[in-house]
Amino acid sequence: MKKIILFLLIMLIPIKSYGLEVSASSAILMDMDSERILYAKNIHETRGVASISKIMTAVIAIESGKLDKEVTIGEEIKKAYGSAIYIQVGEKMKLRDLVYGLMLRSGNDASLAIAKYVGNSVEEFVTMMNNKAQEIGMKNTIFRNPNGLDQEDGGNISTAYDMAILTSYAMKLDDYKEIVKTKEYTLKTNKNTYVWHNKNKLLFQYEYTTGGKTGYTEKARRTLVTTASKDNLNLVSVTLNDGNDFSDHKDMFNYGFKNYKRFEILKEGDLKLYDDIYYGIYDLKLLDDYSYAINKDDKVVLKYELEEQPREGVCGNVLVYINDKEVTRQKIIATKRKQSNTSFWKWIGKLW
């Protein structure tokens, strides 16, 4: 049996309304922290995604734990075509260097070298990519190769939504965040010296940009993923088949930053329920903060559910609703308040 306390909080935010139109066949703007969708256009429509596939290739490489291991480039790179970093058979470099070449210059040769080193074969690496996609909730994605080329096998198929989910996951990895925000990378190997400049023009054109990945094939056309952060609001934009992609991404980010603000809805620490009569001798706590991207029309409701019989430990939950949809729930922890052992008369004696 639970008692339920309802607390209604309506947030009215003085934000000027700002419209948005993009030319992409599919597009999404998402808050990476809460995965709230701020703008959507055909976001679940499956399409070829070209080289933005390499975001998953980078994730698998980073999570292998081998970034600082040395790789000797093998014969596998001879099958690469299209964009390249022009590495050579027998060349030695760290896996981390290959990921820089993969993400800054979209090296298809780098993708094959990564796949062979991390997965032992390209085929096994692709299996790892698809397993990871399922694990993180990419429900409409099929990876067929580690680079996004689509002339031989039909290429990699995904959606704007799935690519936003993937990028939100990737941006939680420190190594990934560092690599994709890099504008220039210099590398010297046993065979060559490289200076790579990032193909993501938004890094040079839009001050809030934190990363991203470009893509293009004749079949998929232009694809683009970018991320940007401002005032603690962390956004990802994805466009598929968009001839005006960099401009559209700027417009999408401006739309997000003008229409949404990040608000701290729950705060870690002591929880005060002023009309509570059950837990008067207990201290109630929340273990985590919780923030959400809110706009001026949102209605936020906090619903507290507590066990009717007081006890220490987990004693209930606080549920957060945005516009009548539950977005999170967090446990409420009770600890019995320590009582003073000082008697009344001893306390009186101290006054004298």
Q: Considering the candidates 26, 34, 41, 54, report the single residue annotated as catalytic.
A: 54
Which residues lie below 8 Å from residue 84, measured CB to CB, with a gap of 6+? 105, 107, 108, 109, 110
From the candidates 51, 83, 111, 168, which is the catalytic residue?
51
**Backbone angles phi and psi of 64, in degrees to 5:** -70, -20
- What is the Cα gyration radius of the chain? 26
Known catalytic residue at 237: no
Q: Are 320 and 8 in contact (CB under 8 A)?
A: no
Is residue 199 flagged as an active site residue? no
189 DSSP 8-state letter: -
**The two structure tokens encoding residue 148:** 């996004």
Distance CA 135, CA 117 (A): 22
- Residue 158 designated active-site: no
- Give one DSSP letter per residue of 99-147, joined into a string: HHHHHHH--HHHHHHHHHHHHSSHHHHHHHHHHHHHHTT-TT-B--SSS
| 140 phi, psi to nearest 5 deg | -125, 40
Please tell me which residue in 53, 83, 106, 158 is annotated as part of the active site: 106
Catalytic positions are 51, 54, 106
